[in-house]
Structure 1
Amino acid sequence: MTCHHQSCSRIDRVVVSIEWIEEFPDIRVKSGPRGLSDHCPLIVEDARVRGGPRPFRSLDSWFTHEGFLEMVKNEWRNLGDAQFTRKLKALTIPLRKWHKDNFGDMDKRLMMVEEEMKKIDNMVSNGTYDGTTEARRRALVSLCEKWYIRKEIHWKQMSRSQHARNMDKNTRFFHNIASARRRNNRIDTLMIHGRLVRNQARIKVAIRGFYKDLYRQEYVPRIGFRDGLVRQIDVDEATALEVMPSAEEIREAVWDCESSKAPGSDGYNMNFIKRC
């Protein structure tokens, strides 16, 4: 910041475009040593942390694909009669592969469709036009709309935006929110026993140990009840407590949950549970 009399101006700045941020979403700006100068150099660095493979997460955009539900049913039947939670964990393997084959690099797939549409438009401009060309272009327009919808649903889910429910073609807004969330949630450094640690493996161990100690119960109180202090329930009430919930009660409890919420760390949100 430099000031002359009544006016002040900030001259130490880094200027980037939205397109540049989209290409490098994990950038950080830090200041270098000032030395004898009145100003310090500004350094733009890639702060991307290699934290290993990303955890599994079910995506709402999968349901826009015509063959998704059928694929899930077939894979579920192939897993046999294993325990429900084990089948969910095993299902992540074919789901990851299916996602890579059908939804991998949505921007590239969308670009290929738009380029094909452009070729057809150039053919029409050059006088080549018939029923086949028109049908081909209509099919490409429909496919392009599907990919735009999938991209929007995907980035809305990633950004966890609570904005308008209606479809919004400005996916850049949700993309930037999701990138900002990743930057804010990422732990690059952590103070451990008075020392600043950057090693990701040590940070993970420290965080795991902190919460393990936090929720560990060292003392288990022994509580006794005097006769007559607590009313004893009758046989009918005891039987009612042990009755297994009905399918209708389970369905009502599941459908009462927010669809975007995940009940556990397995990565499946309630929307996946409801629709599959």
Structure 2
Amino acid sequence: MSVSWEDRYPLCNAWSLTRVGSDHSPIILDSGEHGAPRPKYFFFENKWTLRPDFNSLVTEEWEQSAARRPEGCKAMDAWHGSLCFLRQYLKGWNIKHDGDLAKEKSDRMLDLAQLDSLLDTRALSPEELRTRYETEGQLERIYQMEEIHWQQMGNETWVLKGDSNTQFFHPFANGRRRKNSIRSLEGDRGEISGQPDIAAHVTNFYKNLFGAGS
């Protein structure tokens, strides 16, 4: 499997079967796309903390949720309610933020390209040089946020010297997702495969487990 294939199918997996009458083992390739989509759970992104306005944003939304609490609400219930409100808000904020970040990255790269094109005919003015340095700083912050994202997704807390691009962490993230996926289970009647059958088997197991004492 190539790197581009793994990027296209992050849950892909391959394994060999027993050789029968041949020197070669048959290989089964699973793209991992046959399962039903699962709901996305809340996941705090460390890259959010790089935004200068993130702390004030969280404080503001927390205070707004506190204002909605009913009178006489217990402290634990109040804390849990504010946490649920903030979690839902950050989910929507992250979707918009990622879209804005991608556009900002594209715009800043275009700004740099336009400034560099001027160098073909003349030297940059002091104002243009200052603009270029500021644009490079903005891009550096975006690259750092992307790196932290894939670093966290890949569960890796170290960086190779000289390797500060997201491609380094992307395979780790895909490998982690594959490890966290269940492809088959051993049931009373043999192997169970396929996400619908696996989900039904797990559901019935816990229904029987917790319903045994009732």
TM over 0.5: yes
Q: Specify the alignment match of 1:73 in structure 2.
A: 59
Answer with 83-92 or 120-129: which moved more.
120-129
Q: Distance in 2 between matches of 1:168 and 1:85?
A: 41
Q: Is the 8 A contact 1:152 1:168 kept in 2?
A: no
Q: Specify the alignment match of 2:7 in structure 1.
A: 22
Deviation at residue 70 of structure 1 after TM alignment: 1.5
Residue identity matched to 1:53: P
Runs of at least 5 residues in structure 1 that lack an aligned partner in the other structure: 1-14, 219-276
Answer with 184-193 or 142-151: which moved more.
184-193
Q: Is the 8 A contact 2:143 2:165 kept in 1?
A: no
Q: Specify the alignment match of 1:228 in structure 2.
A: none
Counterpart secondary structure, 1:56? coil
Deviation at residue 148 of structure 1 after TM alignment: 1.2
Deviation at residue 179 of structure 1 after TM alignment: 0.8
Answer with 66-75 or 127-136: which moved more.
127-136
Residue identity matched to 1:137: R
Residue identity matched to 1:52: R
Q: Distance in 1 between matches of 2:200 and 2:83?
A: 27
Deviation at residue 88 of structure 1 after TM alignment: 1.0
Paired-residue identity, %: 26
Counterpart secondary structure, 1:190? strand
Deviation at residue 51 of structure 1 after TM alignment: 3.0
Quick check: 1:160 aligned with 2:155? Answer: yes
Answer with 199-208 or 133-142: which moved more.
199-208
Q: Specify the alignment match of 2:42 in structure 1.
A: 56
Residue identity matched to 2:53: G
CA offset digits 1:197-227 (Å, max 9, x no partner)? 3443442343355456668895xxxxxxxxx
Quick check: 1:179 aligned with 2:174? Answer: yes
Q: Distance in 2 between matches of 1:106 and 1:43?
A: 39
Quick check: 1:84 aligned with 2:79? Answer: yes
CA RMSD, Structure 1 to Structure 2 (Å) = 3.6
Runs of at least 5 residues in structure 2 that lack an aligned partner in the other structure: 71-77
Deviation at residue 137 of structure 1 after TM alignment: 1.5
Q: Is the 8 A contact 1:60 1:157 kept in 2?
A: yes
Residue identity matched to 2:48: W
Counterpart secondary structure, 1:163? coil
Q: Is the 8 A contact 2:10 2:177 kept in 1?
A: no
CA offset digits 1:120-179 (Å, max 9, x no partner)? 211222326324422332221011110111112112211122435999614322221111
Once the two structures are superposed, the pairs formed by residues 189-228 of structure 1 within 5 Å of their partners are 189-210=184-205, 218=213
Higher RCO by CA contacts (8 Å cutoff, separation 6 or greater): 2
Q: Is the 8 A contact 2:9 2:32 kept in 1?
A: no
Task: Report the count of equivalent residues.
Answer: 204
CA offset digits 1:62-85 (Å, max 9, x no partner)? 010111111111211121336211
Give the structure-2-normalised TM-score: 0.74
Quick check: 1:94 aligned with 2:94? Answer: no
TM-aligned CA distance change 1:130 to 1:24, over 3 Å: farther
Residue identity matched to 1:92: R
Q: Distance in 1 between matches of 2:80 and 2:196?
A: 28
Q: Is the 8 A contact 2:49 2:55 kept in 1?
A: yes
